Amino acid sequence: MSTHDAHALSREEVLVGIDRPTPPILKTISLILAAIGLIVFVIGLFVQPDRVWQALLVNWLYFTSVSSAGVMFVAVQRITTARWSRPIIRFLEGYVAFLPVAFVLLLFILFFGKHHVFWWSNRAPEIHEKAVYLNPPFFFTRVIGIALIITSLSLWYIYTTVRLDVGVVAESGANWARGLRERMRRNFRDERRELHSTHSLQGYLAVFLAFAFGYGWIVLSWDLSMSIDPHFQSTMYGWWFFMGAWVAALASWSLITMAWRRYLARYDLIQDKHFHDLGKLVFAFTAFWGYITFGQYLVIWYGNMGEETHWMHLRLIQGWRIPTLITVGLMFVFPFFGLLSRAAKVFLPTFVLFASCTVVGLWMARYLEVYPSIYGVLSNIPLGLWEIGTTAGLLGIWGFCYLSFMDAFPRVRVLLMTSPYRDEVQVPVNPRTMEPLPAHE
């Protein structure tokens, strides 16, 4: 809690009810969805192999980019030394649990599904520059290396945030994770020194993660999404791609925070002001996504070059037109105009509606990034059992990973909310001597 709070809760007050186990039915549903997805995928390998691999790529791009963006926002809170989000940021930190699974799925797609998704794996690119850039050894090294860096830095960063709380409330969390928490507590020193040493380390990690996230997802979006069209290229594509994930991460975090507040019944910790702040963030980045989307469209329209205009034109004709317009409505029109007022942000039914629009809209955007480039002009678009089943499977895996993380560790940042030294991190100190650093350092 920040220094201007009227009443800073004690550690005991913060921990009341926080350890309430997640309903077993949620993990059961997640496993059922994952099983359904696996069954559909396996059947599809024999019936429609192209479709199930393409659906897997779409969902990988969706769930992985949103999860990565969620972790990046956590790191941004360190870069800005934010205090407002301390009661709710752990709900976003749980997104990291999916990233190791996502890395394995990426290897699965690259090594076993590439011939069903990437045209250049079946024939040599006609354009010399693309033949060099999409050369398989270079492509595989680049994609796997970037994904590994992003995943490793994300896991490392969240580990440091969770370790602070495990260090002071080791028993907070499920019994099955007790051994993991005990290993995290090893060499945990006094509270003040751990707070400052961790804060100092996070300062470096957050900046490195920011570079890895920004540059990494730009390249991954080129390689795994934009390159599916043999001729299209756009310098704004990467920004457009990861900012979509950014706003969807904020929207999904808002929905999950509402659910946690209701389930834990901690209306004193998670207050209306938090939803007002979340609503402002979703609104602001919805506006920014719309700005980038229109900026990319305007430049392509004004330039009027065939290698660029065909990408937009394809998505605005015949079978693809309606999904494209629906996506624009879900990603921009509804949340932008719907969240203009303060009332719409703090009245949770309206916030749920508009945040859900963003979450669903980004899935549609990911679908439209991949499928039209593969199938071209169609009257009846391929959107059916294989796409829905694969989406259910990835949703189940994501949900199981998230719930397992949230059961394993304290659900709030206990130390940063209750430590008598919590606001010292606003003024950096040398973690070895505990002396304040000069401002320029």
Asked whether residue 6 is assigned to any structural domain, the reply reads: no
The whole-angstrom separation of Cα 350 and Cα 185 is 42
Task: Return the biggest CA–CA distance within the chain.
Answer: 69
Which pLDDT score is estimated for 123? 87
Chain segment 206-224, per-residue pLDDT in tens: 999 999 999 999 999 999 9
Orientation angle between helical segments 99-112 and 49-79, nearest 10 degrees? 150
Which pLDDT score is estimated for 143? 98
Asked whether residue 30 is assigned to any structural domain, the reply reads: yes
The whole-angstrom separation of Cα 47 and Cα 439 is 64
Contact 270, 277 (CB under 8 A): no
Q: Number of structural domains, the chain?
A: 1
Return the residue matching tokens 């303060």.
342
Chain segment 26-81, per-residue pLDDT in tens: 999 999 999 999 999 999 999 999 999 999 999 999 999 999 999 999 999 999 99
The pTM of this model reads 0.95
Which pLDDT score is estimated for 3? 43
HEC secondary structure over 184-249: HHCCCCCHHHHHHHHHHHHHHHHHHHHHHHHHHHHHHHHHHCHHHCCCCCCCCHHHHHHHHHHHHH
Per-residue pLDDT of the chain (441 residues; tens, 9 = 90+): 344 454 578 888 898 888 889 999 999 999 999 999 999 999 999 999 999 999 999 999 999 999 999 999 999 999 999 999 999 999 999 999 999 999 999 999 999 999 999 999 988 888 888 999 999 999 999 999 999 999 999 999 999 999 999 999 988 888 999 999 999 999 898 888 899 999 989 999 999 999 999 999 999 999 999 999 998 988 899 999 999 999 999 999 999 999 999 999 999 999 999 999 999 999 999 999 999 999 999 999 998 988 889 999 999 998 999 999 999 999 999 999 999 999 999 999 999 999 999 999 999 999 999 999 999 999 899 999 999 999 999 999 999 999 999 999 999 999 999 988 888 887 777 767 777 776 544
Which pLDDT score is estimated for 56? 98
Which pLDDT score is estimated for 432? 74
Asked whether residue 146 is assigned to any structural domain, the reply reads: yes
The whole-angstrom separation of Cα 97 and Cα 95 is 5
Which pLDDT score is estimated for 101? 98
Asked whether residue 4 is assigned to any structural domain, the reply reads: no
Asked whether residue 348 is assigned to any structural domain, the reply reads: yes
- Spatial CA neighbour of 437 closest among 199, 207, 80, 210: 199
Return the residue matching tokens 């990494």.
216
Which pLDDT score is estimated for 7? 59
The beta-carbon contacts of 138-146 under 8 Å, at least 24 apart in sequence, are 139/223, 140/110, 142/219, 142/223, 143/106, 143/110, 143/219, 143/220, 143/223, 143/224, 144/106, 144/107, 144/110, 146/212, 146/216, 146/219, 146/220
Asked whether residue 106 is assigned to any structural domain, the reply reads: yes
Could you list the residue range(s) of the whole structural domain that residue 313 is in?
Answer: 22-425
